[in-house]
Copies of this chain bind each other. A is one copy, B any other.
């Protein structure tokens, strides 16, 4: 299907917008009037610019507060429309969006609305222009899409049709099934926007919080499906008003919008994700050696070294960490994640089809094939089969004290339990810090490219602000993966720090343990300096809320419980460079991330020297 986007959806000047929209692969644009008014180019030049870029001008919008007005105002409104028709002729646009009147003076009379719109359509026809009438969700009398359609039907003019907008339909809770009652050729235009499910004034919701399909809580695909069933043959056009998109990079947002439409098309085709990862193959950190002793202290052993690059492999169970000297200058940080992929080639093709930059495969001839893309936040994502481990042969004099390196990407493939007992079995999740204004983009990327499902957004208090946090995971992640033979799945947490003072929250790698208390005991005895200190006041409160063993307090282990009786035990290391580790134990199907304890952790991290 043809893909279009309203210029208001991205930042920049009109000429910047047109260039970015074309570069992202859109077929057409809706010209939002304010963008044109502020543009120094005359309409003829904008028309030529769009044509040069291969963009059609699919819609000019909006024309407001036209219908159901007293006679004198109608005359003025028709004159106003004549101005716009002449402008559209210069611009080469032949479809005008008229949105339902919001003025308190609007006359509540559908017959009058139809009469006025018919008059407008007659005038428009003289210019070869068509009118698409849309019900704004906050229209004074007309605010339901079927109401707008009934007026259009009553007006009965070939140059008058209706415009459907998924936001206006779904924000009011209207059933989009009714779209199928509209003849497809009378649906002149289809605008698409998603939005998070917020309980607020619909006008403010619309003006500030719309987002691209797949980034919010609406079933946008359902609106499209009904429109297609009705016979709609026009473009799918994004129309988003979003405070963050307004401040984000023009090209980047345009690409984000295109990714959302591609994903939406796939969804409409019933496509399933071709290669949902089974678990983490590795997390790659910048740094040197054992990260200052942290890795051996956690029970990891060095089990290999890359054939040709300054990268070490540290392993414990099926948890594998790569330590890469490149970039170590900035101190330890999370560079990349490797995912156990059922089909790395298809996974990277799928990612590329969703506009992800494929990373160059810098490799020596004997190295395993690398399939990798860059996430919008800069994290490199590697899709791995078992072969990658062959690039990390064990060395003579390896520090391994628990046997030889293990092959196989599956956590059930007989990993050793680590040297302390109760040790680390696999990577439970990674938490990635996101830059401002790109949170929704990242969510859509991980959703579309990796097949992860998002949970609700949370806001976690930090001493100097808030951290917006959203967890994502592969569908129906088993919580106790060991021995299932299927892989533990992939969990990720996206964090956006809205924090005034101090350092932004670091990234982290959470490692699953079979017995976190045993690991904690060993760490407390051997490396107490690595444990993030948790205030005693936390335990006073915890003991008031839950019946927990006093050992948690001694060991600095945090605790959460869900409504179904699942429990979560976790502890944090201090931050090393820009990254820290969390050790977690999920009990009885606990499926969260201990968010209730995150404020304690954030405060402790700010307090740490």
Contacts and interface: CB of A to CB of B under 8 A. Distances in A.
Contact of A463 (B12, B537, B538, B599): B12
Nearest to A83: B544
Contacts of A42: 536-537
Contacts of A461: 34, 246
Contact of A465 (B11, B199, B545): B11
Nearest to A201: B199
Contacts of A501: 11, 247, 249
A543 B86 CA distance: 13
Contact of A246 (B34, B37, B466, B535): B466
A290 interface: no
A87 B539 CA distance: 12
Contacts of A198: 200-201, 204
Q: How many copies does the complex hold?
A: 2
B607 A13 contact: yes
Contact of A600 (B37, B500, B602): B37
Interface string A587-609: 00000000000011011101100
Contact of A535 (B37, B466, B499): B37
A201 B202 CA distance: 12
B246 A500 contact: yes
A43 interface: yes
Contacts of A607: 13, 40
A248 B201 contact: no
Interface in A38-85: 38-40, 42-43, 79-80, 83-84
Nearest to A90: B540
29 contacts: A11-B463, A11-B465, A11-B500, A13-B463, A34-B461, A34-B599, A37-B537, A37-B538, A37-B599, A38-B537, A38-B603, A38-B604, A39-B535, A40-B604, A42-B537, A43-B537, A79-B544, A83-B540, A83-B541, A83-B543, A199-B201, A200-B200, A243-B466, A246-B465, A246-B500, A247-B500, A247-B501, A249-B500, A437-B500
Please list the 10 inter-chain residue pairs (A to B) with the smallest Cβ-Cβ separation, ordered nearest first: A247-B500, A83-B544, A38-B603, A200-B200, A199-B201, A247-B465, A40-B535, A80-B544, A37-B537, A246-B465
